[in-house]
Structure 1
Amino acid sequence: MAGNTTALLSAPAASPLSQTAEATPKSAQKPPRLALLDGLRFAAAVLVVLFHYTAWHHGFWGTAEAKDAWPVLSKVTVYGNMGVQLFFIISGFVILLSAYGKGAGRFIGSRVGRLYPAYWFAVLATGFLVIVMWPQVGSGLGGKELTANLTMFHPLMGLRHIDGVYWTLWVEMRFYLLILALIILRLLTIRSMTILAVVWPVLGLAAQLMNREAAAENLMSDYAALFSGGIVLFLIYRFGHSILRWSVLALNVGIAAYFTGIKGPTEALELVGYVVPAWHYWLIIVGLFAAVALLSLTRLGNVQWKFLGILGALTYPVYLLHQVWGWWMIDHFAPVLGQYVTLPLVMGIVFTVAFLVHRFIERPSAKPLAAATTRGLGYLGGRLAPRKKVATPAPGR
């Protein structure tokens, strides 16, 4: 993997930017799918689901708090919200894997095709639940919020989420927009991504320590190190090991542990009612990064079990649909069936519906939507591009 080739992640051609001593890619071919990462994403989704069902402070089990219904299980599932941290680490890795060799149009198309089909279904289904069927949970949500949520840019409009879990989608979207800007500026290079993985989380940490709340929010300081750590893991996976890359990864693990050590205990106390020491979350963050590294940088990355790909595909629709619909089913089923039947039943229904959404909505529409978006952007770009003037030949003598 040694070499002096300049690598531009956003296009197969060599970068116009000068870089030295960069490793060449492992292969010019498309890398194999990392099946075990799909399995890890699925495990993260299960953890998040269990957190919202058995630890989060709701009273739909017929008790004052979910943890009162699940006094033993909740002591484990209180950590389930760390599945979101794992999602962000994997996203930092996978988004560069997805962006590799793509221009801006194809990148946007791939993201639109990946994100929106299941999301539109989930927004409409959940919107119907909280606006029509269960308005006491919707707390005043209406058609304006529903329509705005379909864009996924409703936070810019100052409007609420139809489902509270959508907050993570806005964090992801801002990360995608950052990558898109780098593609457009032709800065999605090995060197610039390494610099980004240092500067972004360090600036976020500085904003936090200086109590600059607006700057910290704009920099997504709580999550910058998670995305950046995933970026560095991709660089190691694709271009090889180096002391610099492992040092940058260690920096991001430390910053991510710092922020999670603040956020984790606060959420455990406010959302569940448990006092959890910060060092638990420090160890969890180290473990999450270690798990992603182990499954992508060792021989485990060669595992190609197809069922893991299916499980990974279910992760997104499960995340989109599980919370409010799950609470509604718990509220209606638990008084009749009891909690020990209701929990596996509700989880089974959610994962079954997620499979149906993947099979009959995502799979048929993702590629056509991505292709149509790419073509539309290409046409729009051609229409907006300045046209070269054609010189008029001088009249003959």
Structure 2
Amino acid sequence: MVATMELPRVEPAGPDAGRKDQGTTPAAPAPARPRLALLDGLRLLAALAVVLFHWTAWHHGHWGRHGETAVEAWPWLSQFSAVGALGVQLFFVISGFVILLSSFGKSPARFIGSRVGRLYPAYWVAVLATSALTFVLWPGLGSERTPGDIPANLTMFQGGLGVGHIDGVYWTLWVEMKFYLWILAFTLIGMTVRRVLVFALTWPLLGNALFFILQSSGQPVAWVEHVFFPQYSALFAGGMALFLLFRFGHTPLRWAALAVNVAIGSLWSARVQQPETVELTGYDYSFWLFVGITAGLFALVAVMVLTPLAAVRVPGMTLAGQLTYPVYLIHQLWGWWLIMLLSPHLPRELVLALSLAAVLAVAWTVHRWVERPLGPRLQRAVTAGVGKLDFLASSR
């Protein structure tokens, strides 16, 4: 799942920020400053890496007249796009950073309103459109799904309800949603620098300790995966540590929190992605290649937010960030459908270019005519509605 925040206008920490006593007092809103443009561009690049993974490396057989697999159609490109699934890991790191960037100092009602307004309009359109594709235009594509799965999918909580995803890429949304629930808890008890730092260190460590202790003793680990999701928690927590360094300055403990999470997140990513890459693409890359790539993704985000590159302004990057979420939501099944229709008649390079152009055009349309008009209205309505609940309105 993409990091779905609009990057707020923020001021990075000054040289004395790390020496201030910020342990118990929530931060005041930051002064206005242009958004982190390169991070917006990086989000779209992460989405495009996932797109190429699903279109040119995944084992679907929609290329050409005879149903060639993606690897057969793209023997050279697939060697690189096979690791594009790690774009999801990059999304999670960025999400850990930008969710804190935008939620620090917000009330629970404002946080809930911002998440609902940002996530749901485009998602509802994607679910309904993909349902039409799956059950009407291309029946049999999702033979394991039924129209009865649509209502649960519209909630975005289908992962916790035991209902299948209308589109397989939605699995990341449930992971993101669980992370948001942790952040909501912070807004309820009060978000401080010290609490965030302690959480960023202990959440992945505790989750991993519980997971491996229970697993080694033959005990059920499903509840640990639901609550702590140790496979991905260090990615979010590493992004949180980067936020602390960016916003409040450099201290040894904050760098230690980042280092711990880079190590845990990189090892877990390799543990998950190395066998999945073999299964889904046939490429058997080294475990340590995935460790190195994931660590490099952390480093890439760090360079973009902790160095002078944070001040670089590139035209078009705001739009790139805005297109990332709808691109991710619609690219997989609609992309396969376009490939299936076009590839028997056109050169595969042209099919790839046309499919990508179509997805970007639809993403822009969804952003312009769905997200922009409906998102702010939904955000205000939800914020006002939730704000009437005393226990949320009064919690900071």
Q: Single out whichever of 91-100 and 209-218 deviates more from structure 2.
A: 209-218
Partner of 2:118: 114
> What does residue range 151-166 of structure 1 map to in structure 2 within 5 Å?
151-166=155-170
RMSD of equivalent CA atoms: 1.9
Give the Cα separation in 2 of the matches to 1:312 and 1:68.
32
1:230 Cα shift?
0.1
In the alignment, which of 244, 261, 265 is matched to residue 252 of structure 1? 261
Give the Cα separation in 1 of the matches to 2:377 and 2:333.
30
Indicate conservation of the 8 Å contact 1:10/1:102, yes or no.
no
1:193-214 CA deviation, whole Å, 9 max, x = no partner?
1111111111232234332532
Give the Cα separation in 1 of the matches to 2:319 and 2:257.
33
Distance 1:317 1:39, change over 3 A: same
Indicate conservation of the 8 Å contact 1:130/1:136, yes or no.
yes
The answer to whether 1:177 aligns with 2:185 is: no
In the alignment, which of 192, 196, 206 is matched to residue 193 of structure 1? 196
1:237-263 CA deviation, whole Å, 9 max, x = no partner?
000001111111111101011111211
Give the Cα separation in 1 of the matches to 2:156 and 2:382.
16
The answer to whether 1:320 aligns with 2:324 is: no
Give the Cα separation in 2 of the matches to 1:130 and 1:52.
17
The answer to whether 1:6 aligns with 2:22 is: yes
SS at match of 2:250: coil
Distance 1:239 1:248, change over 3 A: same
Partner of 2:104: 100
Distance 1:9 1:145, change over 3 A: farther
Distance 1:113 1:63, change over 3 A: same
Report the AA paired with residue 381 of structure 1.
D
Partner of 1:203: 206
Indicate conservation of the 8 Å contact 1:54/1:73, yes or no.
yes
Indicate conservation of the 8 Å contact 1:9/1:100, yes or no.
no
Distance 1:297 1:252, change over 3 A: same
Give the Cα separation in 1 of the matches to 2:67 and 2:124.
33
Distance 1:217 1:9, change over 3 A: farther
In the alignment, which of 118, 131, 137 is matched to residue 133 of structure 1? 137
1:90-149 CA deviation, whole Å, 9 max, x = no partner?
000000011022100000011011101110110010011101111211215333211111
Distance 1:383 1:208, change over 3 A: closer
Give the Cα separation in 1 of the matches to 2:117 and 2:126.
15
1:329-359 CA deviation, whole Å, 9 max, x = no partner?
1111101113121111101100111011111
Report the AA paired with residue 205 of structure 1.
N
SS at match of 2:101: helix
Report the AA paired with residue 302 of structure 1.
A
Indicate conservation of the 8 Å contact 2:160/2:174, yes or no.
no
Indicate conservation of the 8 Å contact 2:107/2:393, yes or no.
no
Distance 1:7 1:107, change over 3 A: farther
Give the Cα separation in 1 of the matches to 2:74 and 2:393.
59
1:383 Cα shift?
11
Indicate conservation of the 8 Å contact 2:47/2:327, yes or no.
yes
> What does residue range 31-70 of structure 1 map to in structure 2 within 5 Å?
31-61=33-63, 62-70=66-74
Report the AA paired with residue 76 of structure 1.
F
1:360 Cα shift?
1.0
1:88 Cα shift?
0.0
> What does residue range 362-381 of structure 1 map to in structure 2 within 5 Å?
362-381=371-390
SS at match of 1:32: coil
**TM-score w.r.t. structure 2 length?**
0.89
Report the AA paired with residue 59 of structure 1.
G
Tell me which of the two structures has the higher relative contact order, counting C-alpha pairs closer than 8 angstroms and 6 or more residues apart: 2
In the alignment, which of 213, 225, 229 is matched to residue 221 of structure 2? 213
In the alignment, which of 111, 124, 128 is matched to residue 128 of structure 2? 124
SS at match of 2:229: coil
In the alignment, which of 145, 152, 163 is matched to residue 148 of structure 1? 152
Give the Cα separation in 2 of the matches to 1:49 and 1:157.
27
Distance 1:382 1:97, change over 3 A: closer
Indicate conservation of the 8 Å contact 1:207/1:215, yes or no.
no
Q: Is there any run of 5+ residues in structure 1 with no aligned partner, and where?
A: 13-26, 386-397
Length, aligned pairs only: 370
1:251-310 CA deviation, whole Å, 9 max, x = no partner?
110101111121121111111111110111111011101110100011110112241010
Indicate conservation of the 8 Å contact 1:60/1:327, yes or no.
yes
SS at match of 1:135: coil
Q: Is there any run of 5+ residues in structure 2 with no aligned partner, and where?
A: 1-15
Q: Identity of aligned pairs, percent?
A: 50
| Over 6 Å off, 4+ runs | 382-385
1:377 Cα shift?
1.1
**TM-score w.r.t. structure 1 length?**
0.89
Indicate conservation of the 8 Å contact 2:26/2:193, yes or no.
no
1:148-202 CA deviation, whole Å, 9 max, x = no partner?
111101122211101000000000000001100111122x211111111111111
Indicate conservation of the 8 Å contact 2:53/2:83, yes or no.
yes
Report the AA paired with residue 282 of structure 1.
V
Report the AA paired with residue 85 of structure 2.
N
Report the AA paired with residue 209 of structure 1.
F
Give the Cα separation in 2 of the matches to 1:232 and 1:133.
45
Distance 1:322 1:384, change over 3 A: closer
